[in-house]
Amino acid sequence: MRVIYFTLCAIINIVVLIIAIYARKFTHGTQNKVFLVIAWDALLSSVCDFVCTYLQVYAGDFPHKATVLFVSTTLYFVFRNFTMVALCMYVSVITNFIYVINEKSTRGKILSLILLVPYLLNVALIIANIWTGWIFTIDENSLYHRQPLIAFNYVVAFIYTVFGIVVLVAFHKTLSKSRIYAIAFMYFLAISSVFIQFFYPHLLVEMFATSVALFETMILVQRPEELTDSNTGMFNITAFRRHGKNLFLNKNPASIIFIRITNGKTLLNALDYETYTELLSKINDFIVSALRDQKLRGQLYHLQKGRFAILFKGNDTEISSFFADRLLKELPQTHELTNIKVETYYHVCHTLYEHNSDCSDFKSFKELMVLAENFDKILKPGKEVIRFQDQKSKEMLKQNVTIDSILMNAVQNNLFEMYYQPIYSVIEHRIVSAEALIRLKHDGKFISPEFFIPAAERNGLIHQIGDFVLESVCQFVASDKFKETGLDYVELNLSVAQCMEIGLADKIHQLTEKYGISADKLNLEITETAIDSSANTMLNNIQKLSEYGFSFSLDDFGTGYSNIKRVVTLPLKIIKFDKTFVNEVNNPQMQIVLKNNIEMMKEMKKEIVVEGIETNEMLKVFSDYNCDFIQGFYFSKPLPVDDFCSWVDNWKKQA
């Protein structure tokens, strides 16, 4: 007696699985699509299997019963044999081996043929069975009989299993251990059930085992929630990282378009979660349908915070480049959302990857991720699509990737140096102080502190760098060289991270004691960002340092959201007007802003430094505005300590 219940359970299992796949929108991307094909194939096989068994065991006689049985058995063989092909495709997709199969080269074609030939032969044999009866027959009592060539089915299944396992072993590096074990277990289930059914044909367990294997794969290998955002159904950054890594492991050429919603951060803060998700979904839908219109097989990812990537495998880079231009022009800028109408702006970047090639824009996975997250910071975006094709932009990318190790090396080997830029007093007509500015040379070229200070803040080396700055400035101020310059004090920049250091005040105080210098010889420059991001610790540090006698400057005034309350409440001695004021000085509106701001600060008894003065004309303008101090290339660029001392010496002689 045949046990039909296993097949019935298989049908129920697979139906539930398919409903879950559609309900959770896990239908995007090749991997999900192939998995869905396997599920449908398994369902059709199970239904045919069920019909065959039912007709033989439970159904009474009816006209053409033998024919119906013959047809359903034939279909069962067609679908069932396809399962192994689909499994092979699935393994090829998750290991990225599919790319080799897709390749337009002869190798690709041969591989595709090899992959399909056994199955097609088998299908031909199954169809021929209608006349030959070599695989199975149905007798006049509607009973099924195996025939010798049924063994060919097993041979084909064996070929595909071996093929799948070989791909899995060869490309195992593209998968985590847990996923390899999960797929191995899936094969184990499939193979063992075939054996059980071969030796005990009445125990129809094959389809049941397949349904269990599918569930196991869905939970352990697919893990769709890990790779997709459940609200929008879009692939996420984890998926991008996984697929990106595979590019390098398999040395596949590719081109990637990165898109950033320029005002994405503002929108994320301003909109509620549902509305923001609705916006992302709209942009996603636009890109997906644009890809479809152009018949392009690009995979779209939403990385995070309004950053997208589209991955095109293969070396058809011209098409993706053209698509990038089209996107920049056509991406929708106004969106009618449920409750609100919003506008979006975009930066688009097109990049290429080719293994071991100079044309490649990125050479490692790390470079790829730096590009994904920073392309618009590395190259200043204009109105065109950003491309990293010239040598300079490639070098900038390289610097972004290697900055951590450059900084680590610089900290360990003491490669930083302090430069000093003179500050001129308009009232006293002399150089009264200098700003200490850090310098780092790499491969004979300077790396801008505007670039490496934020990087050091991210990787934590900023504290060691800050300590170096404090120590060397104190050393300089304590030296005879400094005394000979006749300068009153030195200004030094405190980074945001330093301002957050608990115990900064005592550290600076102890340093000045160690070098025997008084607190009025140091002026500490802080920025508005520092005040914003570390209010309490910052205030404690400032208060304590003020008590020790140190004075403070507010650096880069006018570049942030200048908050007058801060200027009033903090013990600031100096306000440093940023060089952007100087650049705009010919604008009559700016002149009003400048004049009034300077007057206001003066009334509050603040001293004013203007930075970025490059010409005599600017010097005159700002002296007339009643600024106290002037700093800029007009006097001198920042100089190494000895050059600076000689410069001051010369200046005094000429004055």
Q: Which residues bind ligand C2E (CB under 6 A)?
A: 421, 436-438, 448-450, 453, 469, 493-495, 525, 555-556, 579, 611-614, 631-633, 638
Residue 113 in tokens: 């043929």
In the list Mg ion, ligand C2E, none, the entry touching 632 (Cβ below 5 to 8 angstroms by class) is ligand C2E
Residue 562 in tokens: 């200048």
Residue among 84 and 434 whose Cβ is closer to Mg ion? 434
Paired residues of 445 in beta bridges:
442
Which one of 22-30, 108-116, 374-382, 549-557 is the stretch in contact with Mg ion (CB under 5 A)? 549-557
User: Which one of 228, 493, 498, 546 is in contact with Mg ion (CB under 5 A)?
Assistant: 493
Residue among 342 and 436 whose Cβ is closer to Mg ion? 436
Residue among 371 and 437 whose Cβ is closer to Mg ion? 437
Question: Does position 361 bind Mg ion by CB under 5 A?
Answer: no
Rounded Cα distance between 370 and 258, Å, is 12
In the list ligand C2E, Mg ion, none, the entry touching 61 (Cβ below 5 to 8 angstroms by class) is none
In the list Mg ion, ligand C2E, none, the entry touching 612 (Cβ below 5 to 8 angstroms by class) is ligand C2E
Rounded Cα distance between 144 and 547, Å, is 98
In the list ligand C2E, Mg ion, none, the entry touching 122 (Cβ below 5 to 8 angstroms by class) is none
In the list ligand C2E, Mg ion, none, the entry touching 153 (Cβ below 5 to 8 angstroms by class) is none
Residue 477 in tokens: 């101020």
- Considering the complex, what minimum distance in angstroms separates the CB of residue 175 from ligand C2E? 44
- Considering the complex, what minimum distance in angstroms separates the CB of residue 467 from ligand C2E? 11
- Residue 31's nearest CA partner among 86, 85, 82 is 86
Query: For the chain, how many helices (H) and strands (E)?
Result: 27, 19
Which one of 209-217, 291-299, 325-333, 485-493 is the stretch in contact with Mg ion (CB under 5 A)? 485-493
Residue among 402 and 559 whose Cβ is closer to Mg ion? 559
- Considering the complex, what minimum distance in angstroms separates the CB of residue 243 from Mg ion? 43
User: Binders of Mg ion: how many residues, by CB under 5 A?
Assistant: 4
Residue 50 contacts residue 8 (beta carbons within 8 Å)? yes
- Considering the complex, what minimum distance in angstroms separates the CB of residue 559 from ligand C2E? 9
- Residue 159's nearest CA partner among 106, 210, 122 is 122
Residue 444 in tokens: 């004979």
Question: Does position 41 bind Mg ion by CB under 5 A?
Answer: no
Residue among 510 and 583 whose Cβ is closer to ligand C2E? 583
- Residue 159's nearest CA partner among 124, 192, 104, 117 is 117
In the list ligand C2E, Mg ion, none, the entry touching 253 (Cβ below 5 to 8 angstroms by class) is none
Residue 84 in tokens: 């192994």
- Considering the complex, what minimum distance in angstroms separates the CB of residue 500 from ligand C2E? 12
Cα distances (Å, whole numbers) of residue 301 to 175, 329, 426, 600: 20, 20, 57, 51
- Residue 639's nearest CA partner among 515, 532, 481, 525 is 481
Question: Does position 556 bind Mg ion by CB under 5 A?
Answer: yes
Residue among 404 and 417 whose Cβ is closer to ligand C2E? 417
Residue among 367 and 556 whose Cβ is closer to Mg ion? 556
If DSSP codes are grouped into helix, strand and coil, which group holds residue 432?
Answer: strand
- Considering the complex, what minimum distance in angstroms separates the CB of residue 483 from Mg ion? 24
Residue among 259 and 526 whose Cβ is closer to ligand C2E? 526
- Considering the complex, what minimum distance in angstroms separates the CB of residue 326 from ligand C2E? 38
Element at 496 (helix H, strand E): helix 496-500
Residue among 362 and 419 whose Cβ is closer to ligand C2E? 419
In the list Mg ion, ligand C2E, none, the entry touching 450 (Cβ below 5 to 8 angstroms by class) is ligand C2E
Paired residues of 347 in beta bridges:
260
Q: Helix %, strand %, coil % for the chain, to 5?
A: 60, 15, 25
- Considering the complex, what minimum distance in angstroms separates the CB of residue 597 from ligand C2E? 17
Helices 206-217 and 177-199, axial angle in degrees (round to 10)? 170
- Considering the complex, what minimum distance in angstroms separates the CB of residue 577 from ligand C2E? 10
In the list Mg ion, ligand C2E, none, the entry touching 495 (Cβ below 5 to 8 angstroms by class) is ligand C2E
In the list Mg ion, ligand C2E, none, the entry touching 457 (Cβ below 5 to 8 angstroms by class) is none
Rounded Cα distance between 628 and 334, Å, is 48
Question: Does position 555 bind Mg ion by CB under 5 A?
Answer: yes
Cα distances (Å, whole numbers) of residue 199 to 196, 206, 344: 5, 12, 65
CA angle 315, 321, 327 (to 5 degrees): 135
User: Which one of 525, 528, 607, 628 is in contact with Mg ion (CB under 5 A)?
Assistant: 525
- Considering the complex, what minimum distance in angstroms separates the CB of residue 586 from ligand C2E? 16
Residue among 306 and 612 whose Cβ is closer to ligand C2E? 612
Residue among 302 and 579 whose Cβ is closer to ligand C2E? 579
- Considering the complex, what minimum distance in angstroms separates the CB of residue 568 from ligand C2E? 22
- Considering the complex, what minimum distance in angstroms separates the CB of residue 581 from ligand C2E? 12
Virtual torsion, Cα 624, 625, 626, 630, nearest 10 deg? -90
Rounded Cα distance between 75 and 104, Å, is 32
Rounded Cα distance between 121 and 81, Å, is 11
- Considering the complex, what minimum distance in angstroms separates the CB of residue 626 from ligand C2E? 20
Helices 365-378 and 237-250, axial angle in degrees (round to 10)? 120
- Residue 495's nearest CA partner among 440, 547, 549, 436 is 436
Residue among 528 and 555 whose Cβ is closer to ligand C2E? 555
Residue 554 contacts residue 573 (beta carbons within 8 Å)? no
Residue among 342 and 423 whose Cβ is closer to ligand C2E? 423
Residue 428 in tokens: 């006293």
Name the phi and psi angles at 357, rounded to 5.
-125, 145
Q: Using DSSP bridges, classify how beta strands 341-343 and 346-353 pair: parallel, antiparallel or unpaired.
A: unpaired
Rounded Cα distance between 545 and 524, Å, is 9
520 secondary structure, DSSP code: G
In the list ligand C2E, Mg ion, none, the entry touching 41 (Cβ below 5 to 8 angstroms by class) is none
In the list Mg ion, ligand C2E, none, the entry touching 72 (Cβ below 5 to 8 angstroms by class) is none
Q: Which residues of the shown chain bind Mg ion in the complex (CB under 5 A)?
A: 493, 525, 555-556
